[in-house]
Amino acid sequence: MILSITDGLLLPTMAENTPAYVAVTDGNNAPITNATVVVNGQTLNYDADTQRYTGLLRNEPGGSVSVSVTVAGVTYTGTQQFFESFPTIYTFPKVEAPTNTAVWSTQMANRIEWGGVVPRARSSYQVGVLDPETGTLLWPAGRALQTVAYTEHSVTVPGSTLTAGTRLIVVGIVDVAEIPGARQGSGLIVGAFNSRRVSVSTFQPKPTPTPATSQAVGFHIDPAHAGHATLATGQPVFPTTSTWTTTLNNKVSYPVIAEGKVFVLTDGVLETGTGRSLYALNETDGSIAWGPITLPFSSFSYAAHAYDHGRIFTIDFDGRLTAYNAANGAIVWSETLQETGFFSSAPTALNGLVYVGGPQGELYAIDQDTGAIVWKAITPDRGTVSSPTVSADGVFVVAPCHASKFDPLTGNLLWHNDGPYSGGGAGVPGVFANNQLHFTDRCMSSPGTGRVLDAQTGSQTGTFFGDRLPAFSDQVGYYLQTPTLMAVDLASNTTLWSFPNASDPFTTAPIVVGDYAIAGTSSGKVYAFGPTSSAAVWTAMAPSPIEHKEEGGSPTVPGGNAVGDGYLVVPAGNTLTAWRLVP
C-alpha cells in the first residue's frame, strides 16, 4: 500500500510525503521475512512488529509508483499512477472552503464532504476521524477507515461517537492495481490522503429561570416572539401619567427589560463613522445605570440584542456577536460569526444558547458562556434568515416563501415548508403561539397576507391578514393590517372587533399584557384595547412620533414596544418612556 499525503498534515516535517507498506505472505498467510522489496528504486526494510516491509518515499501527484518483490528467486512487479490531486475536505455545518478549524458538537450529526479529485472506476474513498495526539481511530468503530464508493462525496459522523477535544478528519482516495503472477487477492494500492482539524464541543443546556414577573428578553418580548407579557397581578392597571422619559443620543431600539434595568441600542451615524450605543437604564426612574457603550463601527447601523442568564448579547450587521455582563456592561466575549456580513436579524437567547440567523441561510447556536459555536445549520432555501423563534422543542426561522424548524440542541432539520412562490430578501420573524407558527410572508400574492403552519409538522393550516407581527393572549389574537388593528377569537377564528385608524396609523406590532393589546401610532399615541371592544381602555402620548422600523432586514436598529418587570416601555425617536402597569 503506497499512500501519498499532503505535506505536514499527518507526518512530521520531512522531505518524504509517501509512506509505503508492503506485506509479503505465503499460501498460508504466514509472513515471509526474507523477501527483497523495492519501491521506485528504494529498498524497504522488514518491520517485525507490523510484519510488513516499510519505508518513506517522496512522490508528487500524478507520478507513478513501481513495486517489485523478489521471493526465492522469483520477482513480482506492479505499477500504478498516483492521483493528480488530494481530496479537498469540507465539513457541515461549515460548507464553504474550510478554514484551519471547524467546530462540531457531540449532540448533532456532523457531516464531512469532499471534492477536488477525479476518481477512477476501481477507486474508493477512505474516511475517518482520529485523535491527533494518539492516532486512535474514533470513527468508525474498529481499526479501519470507512470505505465509501467513488460515486459518493459525503458521510455523516454521529456526534455520540465522538468526545470533546481537537480531532482530525482524514479523507483519502485509493485505487488498486493487480500484480501479474501473484496469488489471487494480491494488489498494489495507491492513495492520496488529506486531513483537517475539527474542534468537537460538548454543550450542557442551562435552563432559563422563570421570573415571578415576566421580563422582556428580546425582540417582540419573548423567545417565541409572541409579544406576550404577564404580570404578577394578572391584569394591568393603566396609570394616568408616565413614570419617566429619557432622551438618548439617537433613535432608540426595542427595549429589553430584565434585572431591574432597561437595555436599549441606539442608531449609529454612518456619515461620522459613529458606532451604535448600548445603554442600561434603571427601570424605576430611567437614569443611566451604565453606558453608553459604543459598539464597533460596522458598514450599516443595524444592531439588535437579547438577554439571558445575566448577559446582554448584541449582533451587528457585520456578524459581530458580543456578550456583555448585564450588571455592569463589561464585555464577556466577542466573536465574528463569519467574514461576510449582512446580518439583519435579532438574536434570541434561551437555555444557555444564543441563536442567530445569517445572510445566506445560516442558523447559529452559540454557547452563552464561551461564544463557541455549538452547532450551525443551513436552511434548504439559503435565504436571509429571520430572527430565530424558539419554543420548547424547536427553533423556527423564516425567509420569504420559506419556513424551517430545527432541533434546539442539535441543529437537525425537523421540517421545511416551501411557500406557493419563490422570493428573496429578509424574512420577518415568525410568532410561535398555540402550537402554531404565524408569519407575515412577503412572497404571498396578496400583500399583508400571513401564513399559519402547524408547529409539529410544518403543514399550512391557515392564513391571516397582517403586515406586522401578531400578538396573542390565551384566547385572542391581535393582528395589524395597517392602518387597522383587529382582534380575532382563536377558538372560532371570528373577528371580535377592528379599529381602523387611517388618520393616525398604527406603526408598531401589537403586544399583549394580560388580556390587553397595546400598540403605538405615527403621532406618538399609545393605545390599549381589551379583548371584547374596539373602544380604547387607555391612551397616552410618547414625546415623539413612533416610527415603524422593519422587523426583518432593517438597516437601522429595529423598534417595538415591550412590557417587562411590570413596566410598559415605548421607544419614540430619541426618547424612551415608561409607564408602571402594576400599582
Query: Order of strands, edge to edge, in the sheet holding 431-433?
Result: 431-433, 436-440, 449-454, 460-465
Q: Give me the half-sphere count of Cα atoms (radius 13 Å) on the Cβ side of residue 268.
A: 22
- What single-letter amino acid sits at 471? A
**Residue 271: phi, psi to the nearest 5?**
-60, -35
Cell numbers 507520478 correspond to 63
Beta-sheet pairing, 2-5 with 187-201: parallel
Cell output for 77: 512487479
Cell numbers 417595538 correspond to 560
- Cβ–Cβ < 8 Å for 94, 148: no
Cell output for 218: 428580546
pLDDT in tens, the chain (583 residues): 655 555 434 433 344 567 888 989 888 889 999 999 999 889 999 999 989 999 888 777 788 888 999 998 999 998 888 888 878 876 543 333 333 345 677 766 777 888 888 888 889 999 999 998 888 899 999 888 999 999 998 898 888 888 888 888 889 889 888 888 888 878 888 888 888 888 787 777 888 887 767 899 999 999 999 999 999 888 999 999 999 999 999 999 999 999 999 999 998 765 555 668 999 999 999 999 999 999 887 667 789 999 999 999 999 988 999 999 999 999 999 999 876 668 889 999 999 999 999 888 889 999 999 898 888 888 887 777 889 999 999 999 998 788 999 989 878 889 999 876 655 555 678 999 999 999 887 665 555 578 899 999 999 998 888 888 999 998 999 999 989 999 999 989 899 999 998 999 999 999 999 999 999 999 999 999 999 999 999 999 999 999 887 665 566 788 999 999 999 999 999 999 999 999 8
Q: Give the CA radius of gyration of the chain.
A: 31
